[in-house]
Structure 1
């Protein structure tokens, strides 16, 4: 739509318009218009010659009281108003041969006499002004006021002591809303369409009621707040103006029902008598319903204002506008129930946002942050101090919105004005426009103080400053926001409550400038809270767990679930119960183990989506030896999860870190992979060098993100392979990257917040290179050696590896174990696989020989002889050469097809054979053992043995500090 046309119709970019299709409009033959201003009339006079043709060429659709914009020449335009059309219709199409009449509009010359008369009138009106007072409005019901008011009476509850000087001896007042700051594009413009504008008044007469609790505020009864277009909005500035006591008369009340959508135009055709009777009966019934509704409101001993909005009631589905037939009456007092008569008038169209509500509308609160009472108390205690900023951060689905909405409701109950801002939507606006938006928000907060500014997703408009991108605009916007908030807090009360995914994702200026002073982290709920949350959500569906259901299993299966995940799980359980009820025909009310198992199957909680979790199919039976290491790992990782109530009662901090060290190839990484599948824990594997980054701060950020992923996936094992490459002794890295990584690891593994449900498992073959601060209790509590296997361990390893192999009866595993002295677990695995390959080669050679033998037999049988059988004397004795060749080709085809069928049968027979036909003999093992050499040489074994011996038995406080030697020839690195 053209901007000038939209402006003439008082439409803004957010206005809602109705479009109706008009079929067969009338043709207009004569049009009378009038210029809006004298300037428009002068432009019309200057271009009178081309005016008529311009109107006809630019305008087709015409309606009464329509505003026309006529572009005369270039940028010259004139605004016209339609006064009259012929024939007399509401709208139609302008005929190309229509007659157009334009009324003149001359400038009015002001005389000294008229000017002085107006000045005198203004002076008299200013002298006659009644006393007024401004107070903060609070729509009732509200916790600040006692439940003693009547919702159906026009009453204003104030403390008479506060208004005694401004409004002495006042019984009735005129109540109106003082508009606050608005956006520039809507300043001073009404949002109502032309038809609904000025249809209802914004000044309502009400009776004053004394309420000692109304300190500096005025409580507006429910029907009064509806008439003032206030829908439970606390903090609006209300003006109270003294008026005389209304007169007691018996008015005739006219009700205009409100509609929010225009009805389709009905063609003017003659209606049948039956339709007219039904329409009359409908109006009579509507009138009776409205009369009964008025009587039920008990509008006796109250005051009514002309052109005031009335709430939704029986007969008025969208509310209505109350008017007096006697227009001279501004307001009247009703002293009895039968002191008025009611008439129904034509419907009036107003925007849906301006339509009134019902008196008895209750705020339904469906969601409540279950189990978050402790953090709610902390946040409420912090924000009640006023002039403070608080940040609530947590993963998506952790309940940030529920918690801040609950805090917002608590502050609303204390009389705070609330502004809720979705920062994700604001991030789409240019930065310059964002400054204007925040300036308007702060002006509104100042006008309605005390105020609460709720910013959801604050990291989208105030992100953390990155080194790669341009941060000048973000910094300017952040500084503008901080400066505006600080200047407002000097004189007004403003509380800022923001939400974000993490504290590190927002601009650090917000925290360093004390614009946001308090931060609150939302952690995944504990087992008891998870059980409480899912039980409460199931109560909504009128479901409960069966007595046979084990609630502890619920806690174990939902480990790592966030409140949103539990709500979705409750819905899935409800759907499963409904599905079962359809089969059985019973009403679903009890939840069985089967329902819960089906509901949680294949469901991934939000915290684990996008997290790369390694899954292993290896079991304890696949690992031979390492008996001590297995026992320690089970004690540290499996028992706290399996026997959670027992370990929870322990007063000491549980072990949460293990260092696996030992010779290369002795099963350190294999042990870690088995733990994830056997202990029921999530598993995140990290290779040492992959987290190092050349950019400053990037490596530390990788460490933080790893631990955040592990916290989201808890219970979780965070496994660092080749740990010595990322956590060496500090002081040996010229770039300082690994030093910063070690510092970050120290704070993450034993920081103030601790590790709850996250176990750190590190593997290395050089424990002497690891920084000693990481090896103290509280970080890597226990060091477990994976030593070279002895005879029994080697025998156990060989049995584990060959468990799924087909061994011959002559295989003696104890002899093989005895001859494999000095072999690691990886070496023994290589020996077994080499023996298996030798058996496979032997089997293939035998099959090849068998196939060659069959081929030779087949070649001898390829010579065919043909005999001719004579059955009658007419058959010739000799076959012709051409016929003989033809018969030979047919025989070859038959032989080939029979050969293919035989091969297919043999293949199918082999496929269906389930028993393996590769047998490993003792000789295969001996040959493989002779061909395989130990991967660890004697010198390296002695070197590592000495390192491990010092690490276990002779370690003292005088270990190397990592500083390089100063003498000539001293090495400068620990590698």
Structure 2
């Protein structure tokens, strides 16, 4: 209130009323609004409000002490319980967080899988569910969901069930030539069939975004393993260490496997390192945060480190989560170089988060780089980016698989032999990115031929072998022989280390 002293008077009146009606509970929601740290407050009025609240709480603790020599129950004070709630505990003045004021601090954290299952069982208690209903499966597919998110999920599933039921009824009645189908009364047997199915909840999970995932998270990529040509060895590694671990956590816990493995994908540019990380996140169905290396850098002292802490805090909140550091060499260059203070502080913070006091708890880290030789060796030990995986230029067989994966969404003519094209000498040393450019050039050549053809026909145009031959004359390898040898030597040195 604007009147001088009115806000303090309101607080005094609140506690006075609580004492008059004792035993009573005073619940102050969003207490950080009236009890923020006084050094951060600009106006004197706000500081006086904090002081008044502390004074009233001290008075309540004195009143709650039994009087000396008080025998009768009438002389005993009426108890007033004060409960505060906030989602910003660090913003509350420390003087109010001491014993005698707020004696107990209870952290209501984000529910884990078993807690989510219990919350869902409460939310669905009064809902009519159809057939076999697997609450554990829903709980596992909702990492990072809090109670309010799960309530929204149940509501959304109910809405989807209603829409499905009405659509089915409309279809049935319209097939009986009943135009005013919506006027038809519901029969008792129809009402008995109304229920929410498991499929409604599974559809709702895809549509409801949890509140903790509304900032900083990337959408789960739609890249599948089929879109990644070859690289089966890498796929098996990720299946063992990340995908199965997320899908069958109880088996890994049973065998005591608790190493939070970090992967570093390195190799020539354009070989599919980013694509692999996206496919892993898709296959595991985990939350996904895509960090482009340099975006964490900030010129102000402490801001880069704060960004790293915030990043891992978000990931832990919504575990299981895949953190993908693209161009990770930008953040992990060797320490001790002149003028590299910002990178050094950020790197130290990153090392602490990767393998420090705070366990990663279901946060899987994948890094990708073309320049592993410039990275600090402390980052490359087990527990951090400990598993070094070389992503080489594709072999002839892998080029066939990549071309077929890329051609899946293109109108390729039936006469085109992609296997023969991939094995041509002109395709030697072409990376995955080069092969993507090749197929796009062939598509462009086919499109230009269609646009410049004089006879207007409505037949479907396709990409023919001649278009691929024209494209091969334009596309050249982006990785030279010298670079290829350099990366091969580098991979051998990392294996020997």
- TM over 0.5, shorter chain: yes
Q: Distance in 2 between matches of 1:754 and 1:625?
A: 34
1:935 corresponds to = 478
Find the partner of 1:814 among 405, 420, 426. 420
1:917 corresponds to = 461
1:808-863 per-residue CA deviation (whole Å, 9 max, x = no partner) reads 52646335424122222222222222233333333334x23x37xxxxxxxxxxxx
Q: 1:805 to 1:564 in 2, by over 3 A?
A: same
Q: Say yes or no: does 1:617 pair with 2:222.
A: yes
1:757 corresponds to = 362
**SS of the residue aligned with 2:463?**
coil
1:447 corresponds to = 59
Q: Say yes or no: does 1:528 pair with 2:319.
A: no
Find the partner of 1:739 among 333, 344, 352. 344
Q: Distance in 1 between matches of 2:449 and 2:87?
A: 70
1:572-621 per-residue CA deviation (whole Å, 9 max, x = no partner) reads 55667788697865469975314434554521111122344144333222
Q: Distance in 2 between matches of 1:561 and 1:623?
A: 31
Q: 1:683 to 1:735 in 2, by over 3 A?
A: same
2:207 corresponds to = 602
Q: Distance in 1 between matches of 2:35 and 2:90?
A: 5
1:219 corresponds to = none
**SS of the residue aligned with 1:942?**
helix
Find the partner of 2:329 among 688, 709, 724. 724
Find the partner of 1:426 among 34, 47, 50. 34
- For the aligned residue pairs, the C-alpha RMSD in angstroms reads 3.7
Q: 1:679 to 1:733 in 2, by over 3 A?
A: farther
**SS of the residue aligned with 2:390?**
strand
Q: Distance in 2 between matches of 1:185 and 1:600?
A: 43
Q: 1:635 to 1:751 in 2, by over 3 A?
A: same
Q: 1:532 to 1:589 in 2, by over 3 A?
A: farther
Q: 1:545 to 1:675 in 2, by over 3 A?
A: same
Find the partner of 1:456 among 85, 90, 96. 85
Q: How does the TM-score come out when normalised to structure 1? A: 0.42
**SS of the residue aligned with 1:648?**
helix
Q: Say yes or no: does 1:824 pair with 2:367.
A: no
1:593 corresponds to = 198
1:388-421 per-residue CA deviation (whole Å, 9 max, x = no partner) reads xxxxxxxxxxxxxxxxxxxxx8xxxxxxxx6747
How far 1:730 moved relative to its partner? Answer: 1.6
1:564 corresponds to = 148
Q: 1:698 to 1:809 in 2, by over 3 A?
A: same
Q: Distance in 2 between matches of 1:587 and 1:753?
A: 52
**Structure with higher helix content:** 2
2:490 corresponds to = 947
Find the partner of 2:397 among 783, 792, 796. 792
Q: Distance in 2 between matches of 1:613 and 1:829?
A: 24
1:331 corresponds to = none
Q: Distance in 2 between matches of 1:644 and 1:699?
A: 33
Q: 1:460 to 1:724 in 2, by over 3 A?
A: same
How far 1:786 moved relative to its partner? Answer: 0.7
Query: 5+ residue gaps in structure 1?
Result: 4-11, 15-181, 192-224, 234-408, 410-417, 464-477, 499-519, 852-905, 956-975
Q: Distance in 1 between matches of 2:195 and 2:219?
A: 36
Q: Distance in 2 between matches of 1:185 and 1:701?
A: 36
Paired residues, number: 448
Q: Distance in 2 between matches of 1:666 and 1:768?
A: 18
Q: Distance in 2 between matches of 1:844 and 1:421?
A: 67
**Structure with higher strand content:** 1
Q: How does the TM-score come out when normalised to structure 2? A: 0.78
CA contact (8 A) 2:154 2:201 kept: no
1:742-778 per-residue CA deviation (whole Å, 9 max, x = no partner) reads 1111111223331223211100112222222222222
Q: 1:453 to 1:938 in 2, by over 3 A?
A: same
1:198-253 per-residue CA deviation (whole Å, 9 max, x = no partner) reads xxxxxxxxxxxxxxxxxxxxxxxxxxx9xx942423xxxxxxxxxxxxxxxxxxxx
1:555 corresponds to = 139
Q: Distance in 2 between matches of 1:725 and 1:662?
A: 16
1:698-754 per-residue CA deviation (whole Å, 9 max, x = no partner) reads 111111122223234433221111111111122125241111111111111223331
Greater C-alpha radius of gyration: 1
2:182 corresponds to = none
2:23 corresponds to = 232
